[in-house]
Amino acid sequence: MKRNMVLIVMLVLVFGSFTAVWAAKPIKVGAPLSLTGPYAGDGLGYLRGIEMAVDELNQQGGLLGKSLEIVKFDTQDFSPERVMQAADQLVRKERVAAIHAGWAGWGQDVRAYGKYDVPTFVWDASINAVAVYRENPERYFNWFMLNATEKGAGLATTTFLEAIDYSYPNKKIALITTDDSWGLEIGKGIKEGAEKRDWKIALSEVVPYGTREWGPILTKIRAIQPAFIHLEIVSSPDLITFFRQFLKDPTPSIVSFGYGGTLPDFLPNLGQEANGLIMESIMIPEPAPTPESAAWVERFRQRYEAEPAAGSFAVYTGVMIWAEAVRQVGKVDDYKAINKYLDEHKFKTLEGRYVWFDDDHKIPNTVWPVNWIQIQNGKMVTLFLTGDTLDELRPYMDFKFQTPPWIK
């Protein structure tokens, strides 16, 4: 009896100690994301990836014995004032230990979070953001971009066009982009790649977010009859309205929606109607290349009843990279040491490859390959991955390009 009492007391003390540690003030993770406005679909994909990572870390016992808590801030349209407000609110008032932002702007985020020292992870893919970083690398040492810049994806577009088994009626491209840094820089890459490979930009249009009436542009497209139409618009409603208006009198054109086609609210709204569409982004290929990445995709599907967006896996990886650095340093608030560790080490991802940050604190183009994707039977399948250079594409698995159903 006495021994049992001693055992019970010991268990109570141990459990009580564990509970006290776990009940201690959690480590806050800042998530400034576009949750409303034109980029909200994109922000949803990032939020899901951050949630997955934080929940998995908590299930594993947290970080340094403490639980993690996400603190969100709606950055809306990434205006400089809104981004600065997010940085001040999350870092100065909420005292977050890290920022995991997904797409956070075109350089305004570098300045906003560069006022502080907390590790800041973004998915900007922005040459403008890199340019701001280069202004003062010592000041912006806490900023890390989880991808390369926009232009590379644009350059790879004509590489893709010449890689598929398809006979084109001509070599004309209709190019439609948004009036932000992302759209304009992608457009520059496509134009440069077209010139290099003897394609002609027969139509180039820049449109604002929120475009829903496509009649005037479609009239021009129908007159030109281009072999390829590319839209770079990070807004599912804009893309969906274009596509449905296009299908009323389609031209014999391959249609690509670039990064926008991978947004989490795009395919669920179109389903089988989207068959034949092309899109591209950095994401886990489908089917996933490793058992670990396949298991991650399945966990994501079960949790959200949706496919992972391009940014979901990236920001998940960012959270895990940060957690690894914190464990190695041993303190969550030794920002100088954490940022130094991030700057100097490689990190293994679920896909089995290693990623690292280059001299510009971005992940190089050749580290995470661009996926070229087609919608087949209502699902995204990867046709090609970029290789060691943007001029090289590697077929993925056994999927083949299918002529879109609107091309008769």
Q: Express each pLDDT in 68-81 by its tens digit.
A: 999 999 999 999 99
Task: Show the tokens assigned to 50.
Answer: 């951050």
Does residue 17 carry a pLDDT above 50?
no
Instruction: Calculate mean pLDDT across residues 214-220.
Output: 98
C-alpha span between 228 and 251 (Å, rounded): 10
Write the pLDDT tens digit of every residue in 364-374. 877 888 899 99
User: Would you say 26 and 69 are in contact if contact means Cβ atoms under 8 Å apart?
Assistant: yes
Neighbouring C-alpha atoms within 13 Å toward the C-beta of 29 = 29
Strands 354-355 and 254-256, by their bridges, are: unpaired
The mean pLDDT of 27-55, rounded to a whole number, is 95
Q: Is the pLDDT of residue 189 over 70?
A: yes
User: Which residue carries 């509970």 as its tokens?
Assistant: 19
DSSP state of 308: P
- State how far the Cα of 230 lies from the Cα of 190, in Å rounded to an integer: 9
Q: Compare 382 and 398 and report the one with higher pLDDT.
A: 382
Confidence of residue 403 (pLDDT cuts 50, 70, 90): very high
Residue 177 has pLDDT above 70, yes or no: yes
What are the Cα distances from residue 193, in Å, to 140, 172, 274, 313, 318? 32, 13, 26, 28, 31
Residue 389: pLDDT above 80? no
Residues 260, 241 contacting (CB under 8 angstroms): no
CA distance 349 to 30: 22
Q: Where are the alpha helices (DSSP H) in 23-149?
A: 40-59, 80-87, 108-114, 127-135
The 8-class DSSP code of residue 407 comes to: -
Spatial contact of 174 and 224, defined as CB atoms under 8 Å apart: yes
pTM higher than the cut 0.95: no
Distance set, CA 236 to CA 168, 212, 240, 242, 254 (Å): 28, 11, 6, 10, 19
Strand extents, DSSP E, 80-215: 98-100, 120-122, 143-145, 172-178, 200-207
140 vs 14, which has greater pLDDT? 140
373 burial type by CB count under 10 A (0-12 exposed, 13-18 middle, 19+ buried): buried
In contact, 393 and 160? CB cutoff 8 Å: yes
Where does the pLDDT of residue 12 fall: very low under 50, low under 70, confident under 90, or very high at 90 and above?
very low
Closest CA to 255 of 224, 228, 234, 281: 228
Q: Has residue 362 got a pLDDT over 90? A: yes
Do residues 185 and 154 make contact, with C-beta atoms less than 8 angstroms apart?
A: yes
| pLDDT of 114 over the 50 cut | yes
Tokens standing for 281? Answer: 């982004």
Q: Containing H/E element for 384?
A: strand 379-386
Query: For the segment 269-318, what is each residue's pLDDT rounded down to a tens digit?
Result: 999 999 999 999 888 888 898 999 999 999 999 999 988 988 899 999 99
Average pLDDT over residues 369-394: 89
Q: Tens of pLDDT along 319-360?
A: 999 999 999 999 999 999 999 999 999 999 888 889 999 999
Ranges 10-24, 165-179, 199-213, 313-327: which has the least confidence: 10-24
Contact between 267 and 273 under an 8 Å Cβ cutoff? The reply is: no
Say if CB 341 and CB 304 are below 8 A apart: no
Residue 11: what pLDDT?
A: 47
Beta strands 347-348 and 354-355, pairing class:
antiparallel
- Residue 32's H or E segment, with its range, is strand 27-33
Q: Length of the chain, please?
A: 408
Domains of the chain by range and CATH?
26-148+291-355 (3.40.50.2300), 150-288+368-395 (3.40.50.2300)
